[in-house]
Amino acid sequence: MEEMNAAKVVKKVRQRLEVSQEGLARLLNATKGAVQHWERGRNRPDLARLLALRQLCPGGVERRELEQLIKETQAHVAPLPTGQPGPGGKIIPPQPGESLILLRRDNNKLRKQVAKLESTLKRRSEQLRILEDLVTEMQRDNAKLRAGQAPGASAPEPASSPVPQASE
């Protein structure tokens, strides 16, 4: 089976909807540049955007082509293990662990991504805490300046009464 040309399908659907690239970008929560790239064949829209586009597309040739493109994209995103043809053309079902291996591999990739995101979040949280401390310190210094006191100086001590000198 021939693979669908995503660029042509996206462009046909956009023209069927009678919207500009920028209009389609707004409808799909994408950038105009992304729509341009899809239509030029530089990359393909993700599955979520294709599904959203299907919701907008009226029935017809464009809709059928879009459905085919969605099926192909789903096959690339989450390929289902298929059985192999055996003797006499019978389909032999996949081995029980075959899909499990794919799932474990994807799960490991996702775990690594989550760990990386958690590390970034922890680092950013620490940076935010430091910035909040600096803001608090600057607010204190501002308040002291307004009160006429030098920043970083402690509160003035009360003046003590002069000690009388012993007379001779």
Q: What angle do CA 62, 68, 73 make, to 5 degrees?
A: 120
pLDDT in tens, 6-27: 899 999 999 999 999 999 999 9
Digit-coded pLDDT (tens) for 58-80: 888 989 999 998 888 888 776 55
132 to 80, 121, 137, 154, 157: CA distances (angstroms): 49, 16, 9, 22, 30
Topology at the third CATH level for domain 6-77 = 434 Repressor (Amino-terminal Domain) (1.10.260)
Structural domain boundaries of the chain?
6-77, 101-146
pTM reported for the whole predicted model: 0.47
